[in-house]
């Protein structure tokens, strides 16, 4: 992202918005290694069936939301950037954070021309030199955070080998966004040694200056995320996604319920709005925006706190200079 200051412009939803969680669309981002390992162990025919099962689940929610199906072949990155720039301008967003995008170097190249696009490093923390790569991505490429998918890691997220990576994040003063819970939605991964947010407990305790952000309200593990946030003041939550997982909980739950409970416990300073927008032709998932704005209205969250959730918390964690911010994001990350 360029050095241009954000101007706090008013979005299509009536207030300044930084979308803290989007994905720049690239082919085969998340599971090619896992797919290859599964095929080697169980055969290509079973892998094809798993992919068909996954597609069936995805088509259910794409249809339910009235979304067009994603393109089978992703266009070149310059085409995708132009599309995203148009989406950002159409919705008048202050900024969009792409937490993945085909690797650090590619994402850095994609977001560099745009004053309203932010990129996160998203390389394997178990890879040799991962801590140095994080430093390089932030210092040289301008990445402003680090994104991990815990159920896709090759080992436990609290493994001692990862301490240099956490130390680098702490040294750099960047947020670390970690996905826990089911991966890839219905038909995806529902069990892994890193499935629960509580697996981060000892890491968050040891690296207390790192702002850890857990997306999707915990993605099937809201109780565990609440316990983690209770124990660790440096743990934040993002609201992104269709939150389809709430349909599979054994008790009644709504997006408004989630906003209410996290707002009443961790407080507005540790909640960040996101949409999990990714593929085209859908583009910006405006229905997710509509759902979340309706939810916070139902809960009755005050305007000053909405400014924190939808804009100012992200600007603070990302260290984005802001002109005309709607309110102060505050210094404390504490629970109420």
CA proximity to 153, closest of 162, 144, 145: 162
pLDDT higher than 50, residue 99: yes
Q: Show Cβ contacts of residue 119 under 8 Å, excluding neighbours closer than 6 positions.
A: 1, 97, 98, 101, 104, 107, 108, 110, 111, 141, 142, 143, 144
Q: Residues 257-313: pLDDT tens digits?
A: 999 999 999 999 999 999 999 999 999 999 999 999 999 999 999 999 999 999 999
Q: Among the listed ranges 130-139, 209-218, 229-238, 314-323, which one has the minimum average pLDDT value?
A: 314-323
Tokens of 257: 């319920």
| Nearest C-alpha neighbor of 208 from the set 176, 178, 180, 240 | 176
11 within some domain: no
Q: Which stretch of 59-73, 89-103, 263-277, 301-315 has the lowest confidence by average pLDDT?
A: 59-73
Structural domain that includes position 130 = 18-318
Q: In the prediction, which pLDDT does 35 show?
A: 84
**117 domain residue, yes or no:** yes
Chain centroid, CA 323 distance in Å: 25
**Which has more pLDDT, 62 or 81?**
81
Q: How confident is the model at residue 5 (pLDDT cuts 50, 70, 90)?
A: low
Q: What's the confidence (pLDDT) of residue 31?
A: 62
Rama region for 183: left / alpha / beta (φ>0; ψ in -120 to 50; rest): beta
In a domain, 330, yes or no: no
Residue 283 lies in a domain: yes
Task: Report yes or no on 10 lying in a domain.
Answer: no
For 329, residues 6+ apart whose C-beta sits below 8 A from its C-beta are 269, 308, 312, 313, 315, 316
Rg of the chain in Å (alpha carbons): 19
325 is a domain residue: no
Per-residue pLDDT reduced to its tens digit, 32-47: 677 888 899 999 999 9
Q: Which of 130-144, 178-192, 225-239 comes out lowest in average pLDDT? A: 178-192
User: What is the arithmetic mean of pLDDT over 4-21?
Assistant: 91
Q: Is 263 a domain residue?
A: yes
Instruction: Produce one character per residue of 123-135: b if its CB has 16 or more CB atoms within 10 Å, e if not.
Output: bebeeeebbebbb
Residue environment code for 284-303, b if the CB has 16+ CB neighbours within 10 A, otherwise e = bbbebbebbbebbeebebee
Number of domains in the chain: 1
| Best CA proximity match to 124, nearest among 147, 140, 108, 143 | 147
**Does residue 331 lie in a domain region?**
no
- pLDDT confidence band for 323 (50 / 70 / 90): low
The CATH number of whichever domain residue 177 belongs to comes to: 3.20.20.140
Q: pTM here?
A: 0.93
């Amino acid at each position: 992202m360029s050095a241009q200051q954000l101007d706090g412009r008013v979005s299509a939803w009536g207030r300044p918005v930084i979308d803290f969680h989007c994905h720049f669309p690239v082919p085969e981002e998340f599971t090619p290694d896992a797919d290859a390992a599964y095929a080697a162990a169980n055969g290509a025919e079973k892998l094809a069936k798993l992919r068909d099962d996954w597609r069936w689940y995805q088509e259910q929610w794409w249809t339910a939301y009235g979304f067009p199906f994603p393109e089978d072949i992703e266009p070149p990155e310059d085409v995708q950037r132009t599309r995203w720039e148009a989406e950002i301008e159409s919705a008048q967003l202050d900024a969009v954070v792409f937490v993945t995008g085909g690797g650090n170097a590619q994402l850095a190249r994609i977001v560099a021309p745009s004053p309203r696009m932010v990129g996160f490093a998203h390389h394997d923390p178990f890879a040799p030199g991962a801590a140095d790569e994080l430093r390089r991505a932030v210092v040289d490429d301008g990445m402003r955070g680090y994104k991990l998918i815990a159920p896709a890691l090759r080992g436990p997220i609290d493994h001692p080998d990862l301490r240099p990576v956490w130390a680098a994040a702490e040294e750099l003063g960047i947020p670390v966004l970690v996905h826990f819970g089911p991966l890839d939605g219905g038909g995806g991964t529902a069990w892994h040694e890193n499935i629960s947010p509580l697996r981060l407990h000892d890491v968050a305790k040891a690296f207390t200056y790192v702002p850890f952000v857990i997306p999707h309200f915990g993605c099937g593990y809201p109780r565990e995320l609440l316990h983690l946030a209770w124990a660790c003041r440096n743990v934040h939550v993002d609201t992104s996604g269709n939150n389809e997982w709430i349909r599979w909980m054994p008790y009644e739950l709504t997006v408004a319920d989630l906003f209410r409970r996290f707002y009443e416990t961790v407080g507005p300073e540790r909640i960040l709005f996101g949409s999990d927008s990714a593929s085209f032709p859908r583009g910006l998932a405006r229905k997710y925006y509509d759902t979340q704005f309706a939810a916070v209205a139902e809960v009755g969250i005050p305007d000053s706190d909405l400014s924190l959730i939808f804009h100012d918390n992200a600007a603070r964690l990302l260290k984005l200079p802001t002109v005309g911010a709607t309110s102060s994001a505050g210094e404390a990350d504490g629970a109420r």
